[in-house]
């Protein structure tokens, strides 16, 4: 195997929303960064996502399995990331010319959609309503009790990924696509680079952002390999035109209207290993739930369907920070919230790698073992 003469400050494995946003921010601060993706960057979970910026709904509907203190840290990480989106979107727009279609009260864009998310529980006695009301307003939806979360919203996740890829490139990141990393290059217990099919590439630090696949690379320590699992989600797209004006979130499905009239209906939650498929049952379940919520959708033309794998940890919190292998760092495990958390994750990783500022213990891979 030949050794590539280029030497980088950071080699990033995985070019999804997380790897790309970290690479972009690191390069913007002067680091020499290379990023590897085994496909075209951004075409896995980040491309499948609904793009909701929905911290309160997510915390209520899919509670994290962690201590109350870790929950508070995760919530504030989520809110902080959501609140960074106006600036994140503006920078991406200025640098790349790509509009990520942010729909958030704090960044009024003037399109036909309304900002905010409406949470519609199964019953009005739902015990989660109190927690949601801390962040929202009591509302009614077609005669049902609901909570309106005015500060939540959405982005077009595919445009986020495209803009991040362009911004990373413009900042000097070397993007190597169709390039699968098979193993970490470890010498004397320290990560010194990576091996792909053809080359060894040396770097001062390696940042692992390979999403659900992060544990499959040889040399990845057990606290990462053993703590991550893929959770599949199927999604359906119909032509909603303007029948739904803001995100609606229920236990059975969520509806996300895109600016151009597409309406995304998501998403199933399935544990089938690395199988990523769209099934008749999955699509039927989503369409039935959507039509129960908004009966007018029953004649909406069906346009597309897809599936993705959410990189998920045992407690539902991300894996961020140093690992038990010196100079190997990780940013993955964002589960259902990786689009939401991309800005705050990039900030935390830059602060760690460039300023030596530790990431919250709540997200440390050490909670799953290691040194
Ligand atoms: C159906 C669905 C709906 C979702 N909705 C939302 C939502 O509304 N809001 C939200 O915030 N989040 C949502 N999510 C979650 C979000 O999509 C993920 O948390 C996020 O995309 C994870 O980003 P990532 O960069 O870690 O992973 P990915 O986007 O999966 O990127 C990982 C990358 O690593 C590459 N890779 C893997 N192995 C290797 C290797 N050996 N060598 C080189 N490259 C490799 C892959 O090709 C891939 O591009 C949703 C997810 C799904 C599936």
Query: Cα(295) to centroid of ligand 1, in Å?
Result: 32
Helical (H) or strand (E) element with 287: helix 280-293
Region 152-158: mean pLDDT is 97
* pLDDT at residue 371, as a whole number: 56
Q: What are the sequence ranges of the domains in the chain?
A: 2-368
* pLDDT at residue 131, as a whole number: 87
Instruction: Specify the residue for token string 């958030």.
Output: 104
Please report the atom of ligand 1 found closest to the CA of residue 336. Answer: 15
* pLDDT at residue 1, as a whole number: 45
From residue 178, alpha-carbon distances to 37, 89, 209 in Å are 6, 27, 16
Query: Cα(43) to centroid of ligand 1, in Å?
Result: 8
Please report the atom of ligand 1 found closest to the CA of residue 334. Answer: 19
**For residue 117, what are its two tokens?**
């998310």
* pLDDT at residue 309, as a whole number: 98
Please report the atom of ligand 1 found closest to the CA of residue 19. Answer: 25
Residue 111 exposure: Cα atoms within 13 Å on the Cβ side: 20
Region 327-344: mean pLDDT is 98
Whether the model pTM is above 0.75: yes
Q: Is the dihedral of CA 161, 50, 129, 145 positive or negative?
A: positive
pLDDT tens by residue, 94-147? 999 999 999 999 887 778 999 999 999 988 888 888 889 999 999 998 988 999
**For residue 293, what are its two tokens?**
């919520």
pLDDT surpasses 80 at 5: no
Superfamily of domain 2-368: FAD/NAD(P)-binding domain (3.50.50.60)
From residue 273, alpha-carbon distances to 168, 181, 183, 269 in Å are 31, 20, 21, 12
Pairing label, strands 153-154, 52-53: antiparallel
């Amino acid at each position: 195997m030949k050794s590539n003469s280029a030497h980088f400050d950071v080699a990033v494995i995985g070019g999804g929303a997380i790897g790309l946003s970290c690479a972009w921010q690191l390069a913007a601060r002067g680091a020499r960064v290379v990023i590897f993706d085994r496909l075209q960057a951004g075409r896995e979970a980040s491309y499948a996502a609904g793009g909701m910026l929905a911290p309160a709904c997510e915390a209520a509907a899919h509670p994290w399995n962690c201590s109350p203190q870790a929950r508070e840290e995760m919530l504030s990480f989520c809110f902080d990331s959501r609140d960074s989106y106006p600036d994140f979107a503006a920078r991406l727009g200025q640098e790349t010319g790509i509009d990520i279609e942010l729909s958030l009260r704090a960044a009024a864009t003037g399109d036909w959609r309304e900002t905010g998310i409406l949470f519609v529980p199964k019953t009005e006695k739902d015990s989660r309503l109190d927690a949601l009301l801390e962040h929202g307003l009591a509302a009614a939806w077609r005669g049902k009790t609901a909570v309106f979360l005015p500060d939540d919203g959405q982005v077009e996740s595919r445009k986020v990924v495209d803009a991040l890829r362009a911004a990373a490139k413009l900042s000097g990141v070397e993007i190597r696509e169709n390039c699968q990393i098979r193993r970490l290059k470890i010498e004397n217990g320290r990560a010194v680079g990576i091996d792909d099919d053809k080359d060894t590439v040396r770097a001062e630090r390696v940042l692992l952002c390979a999403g659900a696949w992060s544990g499959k690379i040889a040399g990845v320590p057990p606290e990462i390999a053993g703590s991550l699992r893929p959770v599949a989600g199927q999604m359906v797209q119909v032509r909603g035109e303007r029948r739904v004006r803001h995100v609606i979130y229920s236990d059975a499905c969520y509806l996300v209207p895109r600016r151009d009239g597409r309406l995304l209906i998501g998403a199933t939650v399935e544990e089938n290993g690395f199988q990523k498929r769209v099934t008749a049952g999955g699509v039927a379940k989503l369409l039935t739930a959507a039509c129960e919520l908004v009966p007018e959708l029953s004649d909406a033309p069906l346009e597309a369907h897809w599936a993705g794998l959410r990189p998920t940890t045992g407690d539902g919190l991300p894996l961020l920070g140093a690992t038990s292998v010196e100079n190997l760092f990780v940013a993955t495990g964002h589960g259902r919230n990786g689009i939401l958390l991309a800005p705050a994750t990039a900030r935390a990783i830059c602060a760690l790698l460039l300023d030596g500022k530790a990431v919250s213990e709540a997200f440390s891979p050490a909670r799953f073992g290691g040194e």
